[in-house]
Amino acid sequence: MKKYILTFIYSMLLTGKVSASDNFADSHIHFNWDHREETSVEEVVDILRQHNVGLTIVAGTPSELALELREQGGEWIIPFFSPYIHESGKRDWYKDEEVVKRAESGLKNGQYYGIGEVHFMNGFLPKIDNPIFLQLIKLADKYNVPMLIHIDSGNEITFQQLCLANPNIRFIFAHAGGNLRPDYIEKILNRCDNVWIDFAARDPWRYGGISKDDYTLLPDWKTLVLKYPERFITGTDPVWKVTRWSTWDTGDEGWTHYKKLYDYHWTWLNDLPEEVRKKIAWENTQTLLNK
Ligand SMILES: [Zn+2]
């Protein structure tokens, strides 16, 4: 079924029913409990449609919020299983066997098409040898689905261990442009064919790190992208609370900033040659989901 949907989208593209120049695979979005306090499921789907998003990868906290989005919007919305199965699941998922049970049942019954986003923060638990995480990797292998991984680390070694140890699994390296400079990312790309690099949340209003003042890519990043055009994807990641002095019990208005984030990504994309732009904005995400 998944293959059929993506083939259908692709055939629409080839027959010209969808314009490749403006269709966007938003490959990293979230719909979390605190988003829903500000923006409804219906509103989120409308926002995506208004921006010609033809494909999107979504993770929810709790996980099943991603399913609500698909139910409302349709098969172009691709839910990943989030190990954060309750509102504060990000804090304790790695000690909770229930996470593995829910992942297995959701993958088995075809509700989810990937696993993630999973965060590993420098100096904090868990580490990538955590038993719950290792079981999630096994499930990704068993059900042949990709994993979206966020590793904050000072060098490429941790991520490289992960992708080398699991060559059958397609990994998305979330939020490139932080600690790891382009030369570290190139090492990962060189050594692991099973990795795609994601630029989500690297806009100037949050983490920055990839672009100049005019929002086009910094020279080293542009060089890397042009060298590996098939290995990059991007997404808006409309989680806004990350840099605000807000308390964690208030809503997240990230979805109200969607246009700004979307326009930002198109600005650097439009600075790339057309073939490369099409790959990053649209085709690479299909490849990674469909492989
Ligand atoms: Zn994210």
> C-alpha angle with apex 260: 258 to 264, nearest 5 degrees?
115
- Give me the percent of the chain exceeding a pLDDT of 70: 89
What residues contact residue 74 under an 8 Å CB cut-off, 6+ apart? Answer: none
User: Which residues are placed with Cβ below 5 angstroms of ligand 1, an ion?
Assistant: 117, 237
Cα 151 to averaged position of ligand 1 atoms, centre (Å): 11
What residues contact residue 119 under an 8 Å CB cut-off, 6+ apart? Answer: 90, 150, 152
Find out whether the peptide bond into 131 is cis, omega within 30 degrees of 0. no
Cα 29 to averaged position of ligand 1 atoms, centre (Å): 7
Average pLDDT over residues 10-38: 71
Written as one string, the DSSP assignment of 210-225 is SB-TTSSBPHHHHHHH
Contact 198, 234 (CB under 8 A): yes
| Cα(142)–Cα(165) distance, integer angstroms | 15
Q: What integer pLDDT is reported at residue 291 of this predicted model?
A: 59
Answer whether residue 255 shows pLDDT above 80. Answer: yes
Cα 271 to averaged position of ligand 1 atoms, centre (Å): 25
Cα 15 to averaged position of ligand 1 atoms, centre (Å): 33
User: Which of 45-49, 151-155, 180-184 is most confident?
Assistant: 45-49
pLDDT, one tens digit per residue, over 45-90 is 999 999 999 999 999 999 999 999 999 999 999 999 999 999 999 9
Cα 202 to averaged position of ligand 1 atoms, centre (Å): 11
Cα 196 to averaged position of ligand 1 atoms, centre (Å): 15
Average pLDDT over residues 238-262: 79
What residues contact residue 184 under an 8 Å CB cut-off, 6+ apart? Answer: 155, 156
Quick one: how many helices (H) and strands (E) in the chain?
13, 8
Cα 276 to averaged position of ligand 1 atoms, centre (Å): 24
Cα 13 to averaged position of ligand 1 atoms, centre (Å): 28
Cα 117 to averaged position of ligand 1 atoms, centre (Å): 6
Q: Which residue has the tokens 């990312």?
A: 185
Cα 30 to averaged position of ligand 1 atoms, centre (Å): 6
Cα 220 to averaged position of ligand 1 atoms, centre (Å): 24
- Dihedral over alpha carbons 174, 23, 205, 212 (to 10 degrees): 90
Cα 79 to averaged position of ligand 1 atoms, centre (Å): 13
Cα 16 to averaged position of ligand 1 atoms, centre (Å): 32
Q: What is the pTM of this model?
A: 0.90
Buried b (16+ CB within 10 A) or exposed e, 248-285: eeebbbbbeebeebbebbbebbebbeeebbbbbbbbbb
pLDDT category at 14 given cuts 50, 70, 90 is very low
Cα 164 to averaged position of ligand 1 atoms, centre (Å): 23
| Cα(67)–Cα(78) distance, integer angstroms | 9
Cα 1 to averaged position of ligand 1 atoms, centre (Å): 26
Cα 237 to averaged position of ligand 1 atoms, centre (Å): 6
Cα 28 to averaged position of ligand 1 atoms, centre (Å): 6
Cα 60 to averaged position of ligand 1 atoms, centre (Å): 10
Cα 70 to averaged position of ligand 1 atoms, centre (Å): 18
| Cα(197)–Cα(87) distance, integer angstroms | 28
